[in-house]
């Protein structure tokens, strides 16, 4: 683990600091070329290409008939879980469900003038493909944080792609979580090839209207390249955390939360921001003490800002996936935060609770995309249809203005659409 230090004394320092912090997570140009080749292979070869790449990238030999996990395997995985783990997953499922239900928009209609009504109807995207990472760790929590919001949004056909373990099986806890989601299909496919399969369809995997879920740079790049043919949720790549601290909270809380994010991925972004030199020095001492105890790569970035105003500007420009406010006036600072995937307020709100049990989905924008993107929610899995309804009186009330505007734009046949009704 590396420890980097930065100092921001003026606004001009922010851009340089951000470039240094994010340089390890920039996607190399050759990654896009590799992913494009994978997409082309899936397009041409379908299931056969998935089988070949599962052998090549995961070291697992499967027949095409083994790509899908059976319903019996899902149920067996759930039943074989230890009771305390099963209860923990059920509690998480209920929390995610409650948040998902509250986050959904409702159908509405409004009479804006006598005889004129407008409104919106919500409809689920269906089917939906969801990528769940594998590899170094298993993520049953991600199954719940994506599948439950999709279910509550009304998606009837949920397709999971989860990389197989060396045994050829999908992690049992992830399968148990899928069983909790309910009616769904699970495939033993990982990487960019899984995203391509869900976007384009193969003999076994159905073509989806949308793809959601986090992943490494290859998965994220595949989603971006395929966004012209399928809807995607957001850019959810290597994990990120920024912790804004002062001397009011035990520094070990902040350093532990930084290390927790670095545990995810060597490309994870972990940043501590403070206006106190003493706090930064204390954090450095804590992190140095952990160096010999951790066996993962990554960089902890400690940023000293000369003022609270510069600290907030830097945080908003960083737009981190997770932001912890570990300062004495956290609630007062919150209105100034404009860009973050999810904000965790106070010393007893660590990111890890958001990862597993709080309720909001932990699938959040990374790479600074929180400036323009929101985190995944049940509403992500829906599209909106606008509705317009006129009575005869309402039509007569708006026809003159609509006809005048059509002729202003030189669209005579548009005006004729009004005229023929007036003549009748």
**How high is the pLDDT of residue 235?**
82
Give the number of domains in the chain: 3
d(CA 372, CA 114): 38
Same domain, 50 and 16: no
Q: Across the strands, what pairs with 2?
A: 299
Same domain, 67 and 213: yes
Same domain, 281 and 222: no
Q: Which of 218, 233, 248 is the last residue of a domain?
A: 233
What is the rounded average pLDDT of the residues 377-391? 97
Whether 106 is covered by a domain: the verdict is: yes
Same domain, 91 and 191: yes
Q: Which of 233, 248, 280 is the last residue of a domain?
A: 233
d(CA 155, CA 22): 36
- 349 pLDDT band, cuts 50/70/90, is very high
Whether 402 is covered by a domain: the verdict is: yes
Same domain, 220 and 77: yes
- pTM for the complete prediction? 0.93
Same domain, 73 and 21: no
Known active-site residue 324 = no
Catalytic residue among 152, 240, 321, 324: 321
- List the domain range (segments joined by +) for residue 22: 2-28+237-374
Same domain, 229 and 251: no
pLDDT (tens digit, 9 = 90+) per residue, 370-382?
999 999 999 999 9
pLDDT (tens digit, 9 = 90+) per residue, 120-134?
999 999 999 999 998
CB 165 within 8 A of CB 77: no
pLDDT (tens digit, 9 = 90+) per residue, 104-158?
999 999 999 999 999 999 999 999 999 999 876 789 999 999 999 999 999 999 9
Q: Is 88 exposed, middle or buried (0-12, 13-18, 19+ CB in 10 A)?
A: middle
Q: Across the strands, what pairs with 130?
A: 160, 212
Indicate the average pLDDT of the chain.
Answer: 95
Whether 52 is covered by a domain: the verdict is: yes
Whether 385 is covered by a domain: the verdict is: no
Is 269's pLDDT higher than 80? yes
Whether 95 is covered by a domain: the verdict is: yes
Q: Across the strands, what pairs with 231?
A: 210
- 46 pLDDT band, cuts 50/70/90, is very high
CB 132 within 8 A of CB 174: yes
Catalytic residue among 152, 165, 264, 322: 322
pLDDT (tens digit, 9 = 90+) per residue, 302-329?
999 999 999 999 999 999 999 999 999 9
Is 295's pLDDT higher than 90? no
Both tokens of 219, joined, read: 């998965």
Is 23's pLDDT higher than 90? no
Same domain, 367 and 411: no
Same domain, 8 and 57: no
Same domain, 181 and 289: no
**How high is the pLDDT of residue 292?**
67
Residues in contact with 244: Cβ distance below 8 Å, sequence separation at least 6, in sequence order? 273, 274, 311, 315, 323, 324, 325, 326, 327, 333
Residues in contact with 291: Cβ distance below 8 Å, sequence separation at least 6, in sequence order? 1
d(CA 87, CA 246): 37
d(CA 279, CA 266): 25
Q: What is the largest CA-CA distance in the chain?
A: 86
The structure tokens 């000369």 sit at: 306
Same domain, 273 and 299: yes
Residue 364: CATH number of its domain? 3.40.50.1980
CB 321 within 8 A of CB 341: yes
Known active-site residue 322 = yes
CB 358 within 8 A of CB 95: yes
Same domain, 226 and 241: no
């Amino acid at each position: 683990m590396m420890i980097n230090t930065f100092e921001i004394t003026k606004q001009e320092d922010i851009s340089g600091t951000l470039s240094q912090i994010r340089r390890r997570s920039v996607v190399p140009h050759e990654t896009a070329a590799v992913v494009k080749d994978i997409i082309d292979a899936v397009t041409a070869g379908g299931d056969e290409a998935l089988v070949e790449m599962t052998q090549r990238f995961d070291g697992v030999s499967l027949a095409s008939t083994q790509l899908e996990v059976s319903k019996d395997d899902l149920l067996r995985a759930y039943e074989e879980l230890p009771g305390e783990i099963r209860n923990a997953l059920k509690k998480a499922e209920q929390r995610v469900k409650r948040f998902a239900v509250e986050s959904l928009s409702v159908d509405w209609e409004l009479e804006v003038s006598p005889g004129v009504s407008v409104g919106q109807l919500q409809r689920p995207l269906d089917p939906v493909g969801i990528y769940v990472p594998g590899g170094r760790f298993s993520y049953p929590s991600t199954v719940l944080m994506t599948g439950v919001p999709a279910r509550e949004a009304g998606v009837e056909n949920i397709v999971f792609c989860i990389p197989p373990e060396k045994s050829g099986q999908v992690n049992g806890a992830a399968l148990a979580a899928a069983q909790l989601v309910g009616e769904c299909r699970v495939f033993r496919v990982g990487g960019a090839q899984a995203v391509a399969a869900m976007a384009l369809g193969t003999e076994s995997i159905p073509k989806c209207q949308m793809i959601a879920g986090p992943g490494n740079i290859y998965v994220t790049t595949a989603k971006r390249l395929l966004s012209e043919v399928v809807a995607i949720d957001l850019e959810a790549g290597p994990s990120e955390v920024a912790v804004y601290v002062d001397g009011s909270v035990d520094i070990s809380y902040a350093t532990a939360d930084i290390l927790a994010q670095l545990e995810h991925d060597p490309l994870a972004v972990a940043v501590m921001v403070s206006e106190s030199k003493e706090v930064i020095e204390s954090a450095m001492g804590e992190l140095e003490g952990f160096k010999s105890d951790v066996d993962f790569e990554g960089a902890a970035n400690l940023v000293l800002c000369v003022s609270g105003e510069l600290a907030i500007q830097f945080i908003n420009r960083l737009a981190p996936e997770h932001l912890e406010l570990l300062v004495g006036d956290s609630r007062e600072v919150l209105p100034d935060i404009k860009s973050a995937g999810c904000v965790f307020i106070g010393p007893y709100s660590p990111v890890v609770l958001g990862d597993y049990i709080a309720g909001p989905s932990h699938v959040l924008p990374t790479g600074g995309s929180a400036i323009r993107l929101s985190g995944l929610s049940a509403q992500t899995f829906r599209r909106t249809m606008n509705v317009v309804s006129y009575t005869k009186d309402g039509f007569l009330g708006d026809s003159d203005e609509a006809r005048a505007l059509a002729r202003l734009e030189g669209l005579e046949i548009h005006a004729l659409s009004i005229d023929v009704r007036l003549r009748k």
